[in-house]
Structure 1
Amino acid sequence: MSAATDPDTGTGTVSPAAPAVEEVAGSGNGLRAPLRRRRFRLLYAGQCLSRTGDLVFQVSLAGYAITSGSPALLAYTLFGQATGTVLMLLVGGALADRFGARKVMLWADLARVLATAGVAAQVAAGGRSVWAIAACGLLLGMGDGAFEPAFTLAFTELLPKAELLAANSLQAIALRTAGIAGAALGGVLLATVGATVSLGLGTAGFALALALVLLAGAWPVAHRAASGDGLFKEATGGIRYVFAHPWLWVSIASFGVSVALVVAPAKALLPLASADVLGGGASTYSLLVGSQAAGALVGGLLVGRLRRIPPGLLIFGGMAVVCGGFVVLGLSGSVLASVAVATVVGAVLSAATVAWAATLQSRVPGELIGRVSSVDWLISLGVSPLALVAVPQLLAYGSPATVLVTAAAIALVVSAATPLVPAVRRLAWPAARAA
Structure 2
Amino acid sequence: MSAAEDAAAVREREAAEDAAADRRREADEDGARTGLRAPLRRRRFRLLYTGQCLSRTGDFVFQVSLAGYAVTSGSPALLAYTLFGQATGTVLMLLAGGALADRFGARAVMLWADLARVLATAGVAAQVAAGGRSVWAIAACGLLLGLGDGAFEPAFTLAFTELLPKAELLAANSLQAIALRTAGIAGAALGGILLAAAGAAVSLGLGTAGFALALALVLLAGRWPVADRPASGDGLFKEATGGIRYVFSHAWLWVSIGSFGVSVALVVAPAKALLPLASADVLGGGASTYSLLVGSQAAGALLGGLLVGRLRRIPPGLLIFGGMAVVCGGFVVLGLSPSVIASVLVAALVGAVLSAATVAWAATLQSRVPGELIGRVSSVDWLISLGVSPLALVAVPHLLAYGAPATVLITAASVALVVSAATALVPAVRSLAWPAAPA
Q: TM-score, normalised by structure 2?
A: 0.93
Give 1:59-78 correspondences, 5 Å limit: 59-78=64-83
Give 1:14-29 correspondences, 5 Å limit: 28-29=33-34
Equivalents in 1 of 2:183, 2:277: separation in Å? 27
Give 1:169-248 correspondences, 5 Å limit: 169-248=174-253
- Secondary structure in 2 matching 1:328: helix
Q: Which amino acid is 1:223 matched to?
A: D
Task: Give the drift of 1:255.
Answer: 0.2
Q: Which residue of 1 aligns with 2:436?
A: 431
Kept in 1, the 8 Å contact 2:305–2:352? The answer is yes
Q: Which amino acid is 2:404 matched to?
A: S
Q: Which residue of 2 aligns with 1:412?
A: 417
Q: Which of the numbers 150, 154, 160 marks the counterpart of 1:149?
A: 154
- The Cα offsets for residues 83-120 of structure 1, whole Å up to 9 and x where unpaired, read as 00000002110000000000000000000000000000
Task: Give the drift of 1:130.
Answer: 1.4
Equivalents in 2 of 1:106, 1:361: separation in Å? 21
- Secondary structure in 2 matching 1:280: coil
Q: Which of the numbers 105, 108, 111 marks the counterpart of 2:110?
A: 105
Give 1:261-272 correspondences, 5 Å limit: 261-272=266-277
Kept in 2, the 8 Å contact 1:316–1:415? The answer is yes
Equivalents in 1 of 2:132, 2:322: separation in Å? 47
Distance 1:421 1:269, change over 3 A: same
Q: Which residue of 1 aligns with 2:325?
A: 320
Give 1:231-310 correspondences, 5 Å limit: 231-310=236-315
Equivalents in 1 of 2:33, 2:127: separation in Å? 49
Equivalents in 2 of 1:42, 1:25: separation in Å? 24
Q: Which residue of 2 aligns with 1:8?
A: none
- Secondary structure in 2 matching 1:429: coil
Q: Which amino acid is 1:229 matched to?
A: D
Q: Which amino acid is 1:305 matched to?
A: R
**Residue 129 (1) aligns with residue 161 (2):** no
Give 1:339-418 correspondences, 5 Å limit: 339-418=344-423
Equivalents in 2 of 1:350, 1:128: separation in Å? 38
- The Cα offsets for residues 182-240 of structure 1, whole Å up to 9 and x where unpaired, read as 00000000000000000001100000000000000000100000011110100000000
- Secondary structure in 2 matching 1:28: helix
Equivalents in 1 of 2:30, 2:56: separation in Å? 31
Equivalents in 2 of 1:267, 1:401: separation in Å? 13
Task: Give the drift of 1:127.
Answer: 3.2
Equivalents in 2 of 1:333, 1:123: separation in Å? 44
Kept in 2, the 8 Å contact 1:166–1:304? The answer is yes
Give 1:319-338 correspondences, 5 Å limit: 319-338=324-343
Q: TM-score, normalised by structure 1?
A: 0.94
Q: Which has the higher helix share?
A: 2
Mean CA deviation greater in 423-432 or 117-126:
117-126
Q: Which residue of 2 aligns with 1:35?
A: 40
Equivalents in 2 of 1:153, 1:77: separation in Å? 28
Equivalents in 1 of 2:370, 2:72: separation in Å? 49
Distance 1:257 1:26, change over 3 A: closer
Equivalents in 2 of 1:282, 1:125: separation in Å? 34
Equivalents in 1 of 2:32, 2:299: separation in Å? 29
Q: Which amino acid is 1:253 matched to?
A: G
Q: Which amino acid is 2:221 matched to?
A: A
Distance 1:60 1:99, change over 3 A: same
Q: Which of the numbers 167, 173, 188 marks the counterpart of 1:168?
A: 173
Mean CA deviation greater in 42-51 or 27-36:
27-36
Task: Give the drift of 1:26.
Answer: 9.5
Structure 2 residue runs of 5 or longer lacking an equivalent are 1-28
Equivalents in 2 of 1:127, 1:179: separation in Å? 28
Equivalents in 1 of 2:211, 2:289: separation in Å? 33
Equivalents in 2 of 1:173, 1:216: separation in Å? 22
Equivalents in 2 of 1:77, 1:138: separation in Å? 7
Q: Which residue of 2 aligns with 1:91?
A: 96
Kept in 2, the 8 Å contact 1:96–1:149? The answer is yes
Equivalents in 1 of 2:192, 2:248: separation in Å? 45
Kept in 2, the 8 Å contact 1:77–1:138? The answer is yes
- Secondary structure in 2 matching 1:211: helix
Distance 1:416 1:285, change over 3 A: same
Kept in 2, the 8 Å contact 1:289–1:342? The answer is yes
Q: How many residues get paired?
A: 411
Q: Which residue of 2 aligns with 1:116?
A: 121
Q: Which amino acid is 1:151 matched to?
A: F
Kept in 2, the 8 Å contact 1:73–1:127? The answer is no
Equivalents in 1 of 2:176, 2:31: separation in Å? 22
